[in-house]
Amino acid sequence: MIETDILIIGAGPCGLFTVFEAGLLKLRCHLVDALPQPGGQLTEIYPKKPIYDIPGFPEVLAGDLIEHLMKQAEPFKPGFTLGERAEKLEKTEDGKFLLTTSRGTVHKAPVVAIAGGLGCFEPRKPPIANISDFEDKGIEYIVRDPNFYKGKRVVISGGGDSALDWTNYLANGVAAEVSLVHRSKSFRGHPDSVQKVLDMAAAGKIKLYTDAEVTGVGGNGVLKDITLQHTDASTTNIATDHWLPLFGLSPKLGPLAEWGLNIDKNSIEVNTFDYSTNVDGVYAIGDINTYPGKLKLILCGFHEATLMVQSAFKRIYPDKNYVLKYTTVNGVTGF
């Protein structure tokens, strides 16, 4: 059994920053994440995108921000249980919590901080019977590393920002050939990105198929081609190395929804005094929580983590008095 002071569910940016803030109070943390690596949405969905609204960083790639957060947490030696979903939460007689994961790993802590973001997110998959035969063999739902597509033929499907942004990015000197397929002529993405895509299509830099969708995939072990069906019922076959259906992620709270927490539209209701939930000893921070005026931004999650650990400290050490000291005065002393 893994024992710690604060058990954090979700190793996204807010979970990682909690380790640092808790460490300043000499509280140890252990993180559990369903994904095989830390970083949450930033690592999984947009590692190479620049973020512009992190205080002190005029521009930082999402993947680099996670590296910095890992480094900042390092002195406090966080533990990780990765690639395992938090499934069952029980209260023990001594007032602590037992958390069991999908692989049966058991964790014990007096405080649980849920930093589960969008929950366990799954890509929205197109309804094509044999699609799973080619997943990670030419079909990817998320662009993890754009260099993976260097010199390759790529077909992208979708009409939102993700599809438009990756079309723009990959068509500019990365992929050998880029086609964008969308089922209508109007796009949901940012007007600037839409214009860029239309300009590239007009200049012959990409192939644009509107009023069409991919209805078939074929190959021999790996993806070789896809079939487009147009609204006039005609079809087109395209030879390709990769197909990226970028239809977004469908967020699912998953097991957290069964833990007796007050839930409002897939988010956990919290008290903004300390981001506590209705279950004593369980807190929720970052994208997963909701309260009047909530903004799903990384910097707001950092603030929530900072206040939350103060309350956690009082819960764990009710008789100790904590006096806030600046890091400029005390420095950072790890474990």
Which residues of this chain interact with ligand FAD, rule CB under 6 A?
Answer: 9-15, 32-35, 40-42, 45-46, 51, 53, 85-86, 115-120, 254-256, 286-288, 296-299, 301
The tokens for 100 are: 């069991």
Looking at the Cβ atoms of 13 and 281, the one nearer to ligand FAD is: 13
Looking at the Cβ atoms of 259 and 313, the one nearer to ligand FAD is: 259
Please give the residue whose beta carbon sits closest to ligand FAD in the complex: 117
C-alpha dist (Å) from residue 271 to 261, 276, 291, 317: 12, 5, 7, 21
Say if residues 227 and 234 touch (Cβ distance below 8 Å): no
Residues 6+ apart with CB under 8 A from 42: 12, 13, 51, 62, 63, 65, 66
Looking at the Cβ atoms of 78 and 138, the one nearer to ligand FAD is: 78
- Shortest distance, position 202 Cβ to ligand FAD, whole Å: 27
CA distance 237 to 49: 32
CA distance 152 to 133: 20
Looking at the Cβ atoms of 41 and 168, the one nearer to ligand FAD is: 41
Looking at the Cβ atoms of 46 and 243, the one nearer to ligand FAD is: 46
- Shortest distance, position 96 Cβ to ligand FAD, whole Å: 19
- Shortest distance, position 103 Cβ to ligand FAD, whole Å: 11
Q: Which of 166, 216, 131 is nearest to 46 (CA)?
A: 166
- Shortest distance, position 153 Cβ to ligand FAD, whole Å: 25
- Shortest distance, position 258 Cβ to ligand FAD, whole Å: 10
- Shortest distance, position 24 Cβ to ligand FAD, whole Å: 19
CA angle 120, 276, 40 (to 5 degrees): 25
The tokens for 288 are: 């997963």
Looking at the Cβ atoms of 33 and 213, the one nearer to ligand FAD is: 33
SS3 184: coil
Q: Which amino acid is at 238?
A: I
